[in-house]
Amino acid sequence: MNELCLEKSYHTLKKFILIFINVLLLSSLLLSHNAWAALNLELTQGVANQLPIAIVPFASEVRFAPENDVTQVIQSDLSHSGQFKVTLAKNLAQADKAGVVYWRAHHVDDVLSGKITVLGQEQYRVHINLIQVAQGRQQILLQREFTVKYLQLRALGHHISDLIYEKLTGVKGIFSTRIAYVLVTRENNHRVYSLQVADMDGYNAKPLLTSTQPIMSPAWSHDGKRIAYVSFEKIMPRIYIQTIANGQRQCVSDYPGINGAPAWSPDDRTLALALSKNSVTPKIYLMNIASKDLRQVSFGFSIDTEPTWSADGRSLLFTSDRGGGPQIYQINLRNKRLQRITFDGSYNARASFSPDGKMIVVLNREQGMYNIAVQDLDDGTLLNITHSGFDASPSFAPNGQMVLFESKPGEHGLLGMASIDGRINCRLPTPVGDVQDPVWSPFLSS
Amino acid sequence: MLIKKLFKMSTIAATLLSLAACSTADQSELGETSASPTHADSALTQGAGDVGSFYGDENTHPMQVGNQTYYFDFDKSFVRDEDKPSLQVQAHYLISHPQAKILITGNTDERGSREYNIALGRRRALSVQQFLIAKGVSANQILTVSYGAEKPVAFGHSEADYAKNRHADLQYQTPVITDKM
């Protein structure tokens, strides 16, 4: 959504002023360096190596509402990724004629243009053309044609963003993925918790469950079709699995005590979860989803919770206070060997693996500040990628480039996204209420 | 509302009980506290009525049978000394009323990981439960649940806000009844 990352900061302001000066210097053809994104993106550090891309608004006989304007969707996607310096060309006639020399003079490497033709019956044909001019000559990178209905235009914009992103960075784009989170609002002096599923830019939010009691820990199945979560609607916490498409759900765990922290195995057949049915503290169990059979995998008196799977399904990470404060441990499910993973800071929790398995993201506490950090599993170095001091619940984007998290710098919970090098930080404000416990979907096929 | 009736009744019950069982209780406290707690049936209003008494203020701590809130130190789950007389009142009532049932909810401040806080909140709820059981209350009368940081009553980032959110609530699931009326 266009409201993405509306957090202003001193840095943003400085950036904006710089951009404003740039705008004044630029020719009439290049209206701005996408002032929207500049206003909304909070860059915590200067981003070097942004890819300069110009977008020529797609030629069309009809005008579209902003949310269905393909050009705007692509512009917004690429800008919010933080990896592109997006320039929107306003003067179409001139842009059409503009050649390599013109774009190079404005330090543009790639140019996207397109055309939308009305086919009738709410059908549209969309042509796109991505040209690279970085080498001083025109080189066609991408030429595609799509036929879509009106209501698919926004999704098509995300799809085109994915194609461009992958073409120019070599990494799969995440603009067509979704997020799930818990929204907490107040109605008539009581709290309303709802589990929401939305596009990754916050659009198309839809509630899966609404309750007066807490909802926690949503977890996407790897096929992207189901979400497991914890609901307190029956006073005691229970774990449910809900099918996103039709809303049907099933209670899979209602043992006495804690039923928490569900995590899908890579093959979606097993749920790792935290139960306290036989103990004061929660312990890690594996549940066969079909048979509901349980197997306990962690033992002892410590708090063990927040299990998460390695990509090969052979090991779990979990949070445990067996060493005093909470730290991340890895258990090999075959030989039961246990290994402590985190050592920096007195508090590390809520871990998950990056898609390539080379790093983990954690909630880290250092000197009373709770921030999101990534740890390189090769050399063990920990890097804080957020700095508000009030962050939690991190999860990786399915391409491993960004981390989604919750942040509560003031009185309200917001969603934040940060790049894994910490250079890009942006925020999604909530319309009303608090947004918490976000989790990024896997890549969705459709 | 049922809960309000419950509180009126609980005031009477508390008077009787405190006379019988808790001779140290100051009568003036009862007058104050019977008016102050406005615990309704939702999490939002719990604890909001006794904000002034949250921080171990013995003089205003409710000493009557009825829904109660007990506060905890950061990262701790032991029952504070000043809460023990009040819990003792609850224990007496529960022992003499085996039909009475309570729900003890454990809560933490917002900081840290949500699921880890669920585990910490459970320790607080169990800590209150253990106290009551040690005083002779049947485990069958007690249900515990941890809400972790999911039901905050204060929303700021100050230590005072955090302290208000580190609590266990004792909630009667059955009306508090008086025996001889």
pLDDT score recorded for residue A91: 66
- Residue A428 binned pLDDT confidence (cut-offs 50, 70, 90): confident
Last residue of a domain, one of A150, A169, A188: A169
Q: Of the candidates B115, B126, B144, which has its C-beta nearest A217's C-beta?
A: B115
Q: Which of A186, A187, A191, A322 to mutate to test the interface with B (most CBs of B within 10 A)?
A: A191
Which segments of A135-259 does DSSP mark as H helices, in order? 153-169
Q: Which of A276, A277, A304, A318 to mutate to test the interface with B (most CBs of B within 10 A)?
A: A276
Query: Is the same domain home to A249 and A391?
Result: yes
Nearest Cα to A37, choosing from A70, A86, A90, A109?
A86
Alpha carbon of residue A259 to chain centroid: 26
Query: Is the same domain home to A94 and A231?
Result: no
Nearest Cα to B174, choosing from B149, B147, B126, B142?
B142
Q: Of the candidates B42, B103, B119, which has its C-beta nearest A281's C-beta?
A: B119
* Residue A3 maps to a domain: no
Confidence check: pLDDT of A3 > 90? no
Whole-number CA gyration radius for chain B = 15
| Cα angle value A169/A173/A175 (rounded, 5°) | 140
pLDDT score recorded for residue A95: 65
Three-state DSSP at A3 gives coil
- Residue A12 binned pLDDT confidence (cut-offs 50, 70, 90): very low
> What is the greatest pairwise CA distance in chain A?
74
Q: Are A385 and A375 in contact (CB under 8 A)?
A: no
Nearest Cα to A246, choosing from A216, A226, A219, A232?
A226
- Residue A98 binned pLDDT confidence (cut-offs 50, 70, 90): confident
pLDDT score recorded for residue A411: 85
pLDDT score recorded for residue A90: 74
**What topology is assigned to B2-172 in CATH?**
60s Ribosomal Protein L30; Chain: A; (3.30.1330)
pLDDT score recorded for residue B61: 63
Q: Of the candidates A257, A282, A393, which has its C-beta nearest B114's C-beta?
A: A393
Residue B43 CB contacts under 8 Å (≥ 6 apart), including other chains: A190, A191, B147, B151, B153
> Hey, what's the torsion of the CAs at A232, B174, B39, B13, to 10 degrees?
-160
B84-93 burial code (b ≥16 CB/10 A, e <16): eebbbbbbbb
Query: Is the same domain home to A198 and A252?
Result: yes
Q: How far is A214 from chain B (nearest CA, A)?
A: 6
The CATH number of residue A127's host domain is 3.40.50.10070
Confidence check: pLDDT of A207 > 80? yes
Kindly report, residue by residue over B160-172, the tens digit of the pLDDT.
Answer: 999 999 999 999 9
Q: Give the separation between CA B55 and CA B75, rounded to whole angstroms.
A: 15
Query: Is the same domain home to A267 and A395?
Result: yes
Alpha carbon of residue A197 to chain centroid: 12
* Residue A250 maps to a domain: yes
Residue B118 CB contacts under 8 Å (≥ 6 apart), including other chains: A216, A237, A258, A260, A282, A305, B146, B147, B148
Taking contacts as CB-CB distances below 8 angstroms, the residues of chain B near A303 are: 116, 119-120
Kindly report, residue by residue over A332-350, the tens digit of the pLDDT.
Answer: 999 999 999 999 999 999 9
pLDDT score recorded for residue A130: 96
* Residue A445 maps to a domain: no
- Residue A143 binned pLDDT confidence (cut-offs 50, 70, 90): very high
pLDDT score recorded for residue A161: 98
Last residue of a domain, one of A169, A204, A228: A169
pLDDT score recorded for residue B144: 97
Confidence check: pLDDT of A218 > 80? yes
> Hey, what's the torsion of the CAs at B159, A364, A268, A172, to 10 degrees?
120
Q: What are the DSSP calls for A17-84, one per residue? A: HHHHHHHHHS-SSEEES-HHHHHH-B-SS---SPEEEEEPPPEESS---GGG-HHHHHHHHHHHTSSE
Strand intervals (E) in chain B:
68-71, 102-107, 142-148, 167-172
The CATH number of residue A220's host domain is 2.120.10.30
Three-state DSSP at A153 gives helix
Kindly report, residue by residue over A240-279, the tens digit of the pLDDT.
Answer: 999 999 999 999 999 999 999 999 999 999 999 999 998 9
Q: Are A308 and A290 in contact (CB under 8 A)?
A: no
Query: Is the same domain home to A165 and A196?
Result: no
Name the token pair of A299: 């033992």
pLDDT score recorded for residue A93: 59
Confidence check: pLDDT of B126 > 80? yes
| Mean pLDDT score of chain A | 88
Q: Are A195 and A208 in contact (CB under 8 A)?
A: yes
> Taking residues A180-207, what's their average pLDDT?
92
Size of interface A-B (CB pairs under 8 A): 96
* Residue A5 maps to a domain: no
Query: Is the same domain home to A261 and A363?
Result: yes
Whole-number CA gyration radius for chain A = 23
* Residue A446 maps to a domain: no
Confidence check: pLDDT of A375 > 50? yes
Query: Is the same domain home to A103 and A207?
Result: no
pLDDT score recorded for residue A361: 98
Nearest Cα to A238, choosing from B3, B121, B32, B145?
B145
pLDDT score recorded for residue A410: 86
Taking contacts as CB-CB distances below 8 angstroms, the residues of chain B near A436 are: 114
Name the token pair of A62: 């009809």
Last residue of a domain, one of A151, A169, A187: A169
Count of the separate structural domains present in chain A: 2
pLDDT score recorded for residue A97: 67
Q: Give the separation between CA B60 and CA B52, rounded to whole angstroms.
A: 8
Residue B142 pairs in a beta bridge with: B102
Q: Of the candidates B112, B145, B148, which has its C-beta nearest A235's C-beta?
A: B145
Q: Which one is predicted more confidently, B56 or A318?
A: A318
Q: What are the DSSP calls for A392-404, one per residue? A: EEEEE-TTSSEEE
Three-state DSSP at A313 gives coil
- Residue A399 binned pLDDT confidence (cut-offs 50, 70, 90): very high
Q: Which of A187, A298, A303 to mutate to test the interface with B (most CBs of B within 10 A)?
A: A303
Kindly report, residue by residue over B1-38, the tens digit of the pLDDT.
Answer: 444 444 444 444 443 343 333 333 333 222 222 223 33
DSSP A248: -
Q: How far is B167 from chain A (nearest CA, A)?
A: 17
**pTM over cut 0.90:** no
Kindly report, residue by residue over B34-57, the tens digit of the pLDDT.
Answer: 223 333 333 222 333 333 334 444
Decide if A186 and B44 are in contact by the 8 Å CB cutoff. Answer: yes
Q: Which one is predicted more confidently, A135 or A328?
A: A328
Q: Are A54 and A110 in contact (CB under 8 A)?
A: yes
pLDDT score recorded for residue A431: 66
Query: Is the same domain home to A159 and A203?
Result: no
Which range is least confidently modeled, A83-97, A336-350, B69-83? A83-97
The domain limits of chain B are 2-172
State the residue range of the domain holding A282. Answer: 178-440
Q: Are B66 and B14 in contact (CB under 8 A)?
A: yes
pLDDT score recorded for residue A445: 78
Q: What are phi and psi of B121, to 5 degrees?
A: -65, -35
- Residue B155 binned pLDDT confidence (cut-offs 50, 70, 90): confident
Q: Is the ipTM of this complex over 0.90?
A: no
Query: Is the same domain home to A347 and A422?
Result: yes
